[in-house]
Amino acid sequence: MEGEGRRFTLREGMGETHGEIVLHAACLFGTLGYTKTNIGEIAERVGMSPGNLYRYYRNKQAIGEEVVRCYLAGAERAMEAAMTGETTPEARLRAMFTAGTGGLLDALRENPRMVELADMICASESGILSAHIAWKIGAFKALLDEGVARGDWAISDSAAMAETVLDATRAFWMPTAVAQLDPARVPGRVQGILDALIAGWRV
């Protein structure tokens, strides 16, 4: 998968064979699309029979879910890395958005068919998406709390405001929605929303 060093991270504890299946499936989903890729094609790329592949994953959806988990793990890692060098909560929040939405734009440019995976995961009951959303809200809340502690921002309920930040920017985190937008305008639109939010928090 192109760009996997930046945005695709195999989960800790994943065995070598599981990892090979996920990496090859990600490549196929990115080129053929999730819908048109079948288990036989994934098995052939890995160098095993379809029957053997079922020993590792029960079906194509389970493989697709693991691909999404790995993509989201890479996205979270990229956002954490982007925040590391910044010295203020505002700068870290902006860096988190730049890395997160920028990474999604890059991924869509490289693999536009990833939208099919996004649709699948939104319809599944795996809990993958809700866990990632909880991670984002937790990261927002930590930054908001830090800004309040520094005396930069006046926010009475950081947990509620963290959810508001997500609600205000939700479209820019969703592959299906972002694919419909002009990519050149996305960074400016996101920063504009942050400008409006942060202006309301300032002491």
pLDDT of residue 4: 44
Contacts (Cβ under 8 Å, ≥6 apart) of 109 = 183
- Domains with residue ranges and CATH for the chain: 4-201 (1.10.357.10)
pLDDT of residue 50: 96
Closest CA to 36 of 104, 117, 96: 117
| Length of the chain, in residues | 203
pLDDT of residue 14: 83
pLDDT of residue 68: 94
Up-side HSE of residue 200: CA atoms within 13 Å toward CB? 10
pLDDT of residue 111: 87
Instruction: Walk along the chain (203 residues) in steps of 10 and give the mean pLDDT of each run.
Output: 56 88 93 94 97 96 94 94 95 98 93 90 92 97 98 98 98 94 96 98 94
pLDDT of residue 2: 39
Dihedral in degrees, nearest 10, Cα atoms 80, 31, 68, 60: -160
What is this structure's pTM?
A: 0.90
Would you give the distance in Å from CA 76 to the centre of its chain? 7
